[in-house]
Amino acid sequence: MTETLTRPNPGTYYDYPQQDASGATCVARAWAKTPAPLHFDEKQTTIERIKTLLKAKDAVIVAHYYVDGDIQDLAMATGGYVADSLEMARFGKNHSAKNLIVAGVRFMGETAKILSPEKRVFMPDLEATCSLDLGCPAEDFRQFKAAHPDRVSVVYANTSAAVKAQADWMVTSSCALAIVHHLDQQGKKILWAPDRHLGRYIQEQTGADMILWNGACIVHDEFKASELAAMRKKHPDALVLVHPESPQHVVDQADVVGSTSAMIKAVLEGKAHEYIVATDQGILHRMRQLAPNKKLMAAPTAGESATCKSCANCPWMAMNGLRGILNCLENEHGEIEVEEPIRSQALGCIERMLTFTSSHPELLAKAQHGFIKHIGAA
């Protein structure tokens, strides 16, 4: 029988980041640090300077789909990469550059450093983090794991190096379902952290025995099922794409449930003309480039009285800017360090994931092991 979440310390919950005395972890501070937009001439000058320094310093930009479109374009134009967290990790490890500029949030930079200790890894802003990471402190996770010693611990990529150091497996939304299914087939019971929505979805799809940490992404948790239903009525022919970090009643309305890469694949290969997209709006930039003739609409996060109908923007992803990248290259600012033995301990769960995904492409290619209901592979 599937068990429900039991926390070792029931008085402490970390669904959302807690603001400390300085405000260092609060969302308001993240938005306050969003870089001011550059004027056209200044932007072009900054971009050209970055291009020159990338070559001079043997550096490459690895960016997530959620960061600013200018950064995504710059990464692609300079031999870098724009991807989900799984492919970001793989690209950074395999690329020959001595210096990696990771445009995303902190756990992505840490993962790059864990995989490539010989490389220098920089981020435009080291305070760019993630509510899932903040909501799963290493000591709390240690207690959680100690309370369930008979279970295989599987953690989402959106966690700190210190949490990964304690885990048996790391997964991303691209491969989580396949890996949990694989473990379930081996008779393993799962201890899952930190996103409860993704964990619930995997549990539902695989039937695995899972205990779930009680965390959520502050972006995806805001999608509203009632507002999505109303939007679907206005656009009855639209295909609904939903990230599995979203609440169940939102996921239940989806035609495609998947990672960022799966969503892009759905837009490219889908026959529909209109798409409602329930994830961070940063992904729309790449979607529009790849499918310029299709209509893409951001899924709603709020009702009629809200200041924005769809507010799906990660405040920490928004902290990445062109000036920050230039600062990395000119001043070696924002370098990520992961101390030993945390790095070597965390390496095991990440390499286990990379080995599995490389060795079992047939599992990832099956619809029941991806997240796509109607078109196949994630």
Determine the Cα–Cα distance for residues 316 and 27; give it in Å rounded to an integer.
Answer: 8
On whether residue 276 sits in a domain, the answer given is yes
The tokens describing 262, both together, are 């799966």
Domain co-membership, 120 together with 142:
no
pLDDT score for 7: 36
- In eight-state DSSP terms, residue 253 is T
Determine the Cα–Cα distance for residues 52 and 50; give it in Å rounded to an integer.
Answer: 5
Tell me the pLDDT tens digit for each residue of 168-216. Answer: 999 999 899 999 999 999 999 999 999 999 999 999 999 999 999 999 9
Domain boundaries, position 165: 132-218+345-369
On whether residue 182 sits in a domain, the answer given is yes
On whether residue 137 sits in a domain, the answer given is yes
Nearest alpha-carbon partner for 372 in 285, 260, 247: 260
Tell me the pLDDT tens digit for each residue of 8-27. Answer: 333 333 333 443 444 444 56
On whether residue 15 sits in a domain, the answer given is no
Domains identified in the chain, total number: 3
Domain co-membership, 137 together with 212:
yes
Tokens 């409602």, residue?
276
Domain co-membership, 213 together with 354:
yes
- In the predicted model, what is the mean pLDDT of residues 156-178? 96
Domain co-membership, 124 together with 39:
yes
Domain co-membership, 125 together with 55:
yes
Amino acid letter, 174: S
Q: What is the length of the chain? A: 378
User: Are 115 and 350 spatial neighbours (Cβ–Cβ below 8 Å)?
Assistant: yes
pLDDT score for 10: 34
Beta-bridge mates of residue 372: 256
pLDDT score for 158: 96
User: Are 124 and 320 spatial neighbours (Cβ–Cβ below 8 Å)?
Assistant: yes
User: Are 358 and 179 spatial neighbours (Cβ–Cβ below 8 Å)?
Assistant: no
Domain co-membership, 66 together with 125:
yes
pLDDT score for 375: 33
Domain co-membership, 93 together with 237:
no
The tokens describing 174, both together, are 């691209």
On whether residue 307 sits in a domain, the answer given is no
Q: How buried is residue 189: exposed, middle or buried, by Cβ count under 10 Å (0-12/13-18/19+)?
A: middle
What percent of the chain is predicted at pLDDT more than 70?
Answer: 86
Domain co-membership, 94 together with 122:
yes
Nearest alpha-carbon partner for 253 in 272, 229, 276: 229
Give me the phi and psi of 150, to 5 degrees please.
Answer: -85, 0
Tell me the pLDDT tens digit for each residue of 118-131. Answer: 999 999 999 999 99
- In eight-state DSSP terms, residue 278 is E
- The CATH number of whichever domain residue 184 belongs to comes to 3.40.50.10800
What percent of the chain is predicted at pLDDT more than 90?
Answer: 79
pTM (two decimals):
0.88
On whether residue 83 sits in a domain, the answer given is yes
Domain co-membership, 253 together with 325:
no
Distance of CA 24 to the CA centre of its chain: 21
The tokens describing 84, both together, are 């989900």
The tokens describing 98, both together, are 């001595």
Alpha helix segments (H runs only) across the chain: 27-32, 40-56, 69-77, 85-94, 106-115, 131-134, 138-146, 161-164, 176-185, 196-206, 225-234, 248-251, 260-269, 283-290, 322-331, 342-359, 361-364
Determine the Cα–Cα distance for residues 217 and 160; give it in Å rounded to an integer.
Answer: 15
Band of pLDDT at residue 28, cut at 50, 70 and 90: low
Domain co-membership, 96 together with 231:
no
Give me the phi and psi of 62, to 5 degrees please.
Answer: -115, 115
- Find all residues with CB under 8 Å of 258, minimum gap 6, and list them: 173, 241, 242, 243, 244, 265, 266, 370, 371, 372, 378
Give the mean pLDDT of the chain. Answer: 88
Domain co-membership, 255 together with 275:
yes
Domain co-membership, 148 together with 83:
no
Determine the Cα–Cα distance for residues 91 and 69; give it in Å rounded to an integer.
Answer: 20
